[in-house]
Amino acid sequence: MARDIVAATGEIEWRSSAVPVPYDDAVAAMEARVAAIREASAPELVWLLEHPPLYTAGTSARAEDLLDPARLPVYKSGRGGQYTYHGPGQRIAYVMLDLDSVRPGRGRDVRCHVWRLEEWMIRTLARFGVAGERRVGMIGVWVARSGGSADKIAAIGVRVRRWITFHGVALNVDPDLDQFRGIVPCGISPELSGHGVTSMARLGVAATMAEIDRALRDSFDEAFAAAADPG
């Protein structure tokens, strides 16, 4: 059986799962870790993983945005946001940090935390020559297209309990983008907005998950040390 790879960077534990993790199992593990961090019995954790193909419905999800209910399993999620797809080829980073800590990138400001998650994705993508960017009023990281539109390459949805963060980001490395047709991803209809979904592979970037994980590790500290500007 494949085993998770666990390492420590300073006071943060990093875990990389070798096989897709069922969604309910991941949520239960996050819940337990958040409680342990709050009790100071476990360190902060960044957990890198994939899920089997599924949809999650965030706290703002609208029933009409689930276009094909029979396509994939659907899980209600306590994270913010609406519907999104998870599956193989997508790097999930579940980020469990104590915003009460004095470490860089902390502080009781959820908007700043989201900004730093975006910054983390932007800096990671830059290592592969991909220009990720923010879009006003739209959480996540986008890649510009001609005509002023853009495609989302990284989705963000977080939850905070007693100032411990969990859930996090989903970076499209090489997922089956056709699965996004079963939902209106993040409430943004491509037909109405001109904004869609893309991946590193669709942009012509071939990267292994091991390479993605190294880039995520290498860019984390600099992203969380950056002065947040959530607007």
pLDDT, average across residues 124-131: 98
Q: What is the pLDDT of residue 226?
A: 82
In a domain, 102, yes or no: yes
**pLDDT tier, 30 (very low <50, low <70, confident <90, very high otherwise):** very high
In a domain, 231, yes or no: no
Task: State pLDDT tens for residues 203-216.
Answer: 999 999 999 999 99
Beta bridge partners of 152: 142, 197
In a domain, 230, yes or no: no
| Half-sphere exposure at residue 125, Cβ-oriented, CA atoms within 13 angstroms | 29
Give the number of domains in the chain.
1
pLDDT at 230 over 90: no
Q: What's the mean pLDDT when you consider all of the chain?
A: 91
CA of 138: how far to CAs of 84, 113, 184, in Å? 14, 15, 14
Q: What is the pLDDT of residue 137?
A: 84
What is the residue range of 135's domain?
5-225
pTM for the predicted model, two decimal places: 0.92
| Residues catalogued as catalytic | 186
Q: Picking from 41-50, 92-101, 160-169, 193-202, which range would have the lowest pLDDT averaged per residue?
A: 193-202
Write the CATH number for 47: 3.30.930.10
Q: What is the pLDDT of residue 191?
A: 52
